[in-house]
């Protein structure tokens, strides 16, 4: 079992093995609870976990080996008039641990959302150990995600990434 206090070191090490990028759709690797573990050829075969939620939200949390960082993509109609490729100030919280950053507007399957690059490897450890991910536009809560099974799904993500070489 992966110990998540060392999750940052494991995630960083996984970025050292960057294969040539390939175009294509997501490839299924495994499933853990509500989370699907997938491989994304468009990010240098970076692995991700993804889930759809009852409120219509879709969340992807993964590794972009081409860019050398992690990311969170969070789609929900509550984002409203998101413009693709526009930059937004954003904050998000994993339980009570708050993070601030910049996000890029995206639409995935016509659902508005944001793509947030994550360079802080501790963030992934927080995801694995905590229970709720909340995203804010300014001071307004946009979406709140239950992280049930996220710890086990992150273990699956790490196994997936190791399997990519």
* pLDDT recorded at residue 30: 97
**Burial classification of residue 65, based on how many CB atoms lie within 10 Å of its CB (0-12 exposed, 13-18 middle, 19 or more buried):** buried
Determine how β-strand 35-40 pairs with β-strand 140-146: unpaired
| Average predicted confidence (pLDDT) for the chain | 86
- Residue 144 and residue 119: Cα distance in Å, rounded? 22
CATH architecture for residues 4-163: Sandwich (2.60)
* pLDDT recorded at residue 43: 92
- Residue 148 and residue 136: Cα distance in Å, rounded? 20
Write down the pTM of the prediction: 0.83
More confident residue, 59 or 8: 59
SS3 161: helix
Is the CB of residue 79 less than 8 Å from the CB of residue 137? yes
Dump pLDDT digits (tens) for 79-136: 999 999 999 999 999 998 888 999 999 999 899 999 999 988 788 888 889 999 999 9
């Amino acid at each position: 079992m992966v110990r998540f206090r060392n999750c940052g070191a494991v995630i960083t090490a996984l970025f050292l093995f960057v294969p040539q990028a390939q175009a294509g759709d997501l490839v299924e690797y495994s499933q853990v609870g509500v989370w699907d573990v997938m491989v994304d050829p468009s990010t240098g075969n970076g692995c991700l976990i993804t889930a759809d939620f009852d409120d219509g939200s879709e969340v992807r949390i993964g590794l972009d080996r081409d860019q050398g960082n992690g990311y969170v993509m969070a789609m929900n109609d509550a984002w409203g008039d998101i413009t693709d490729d526009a930059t937004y100030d954003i904050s998000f919280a994993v339980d009570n641990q708050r993070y601030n950053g910049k996000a890029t507007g995206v639409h995935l399957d016509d659902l508005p959302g944001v793509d947030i690059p994550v360079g802080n490897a501790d963030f992934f450890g927080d995801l694995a150990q905590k229970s709720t991910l909340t995203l804010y536009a300014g001071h307004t809560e946009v979406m709140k995600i239950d992280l049930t099974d996220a710890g086990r799904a992150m273990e699956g993500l790490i196994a997936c990434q190791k399997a990519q070489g």
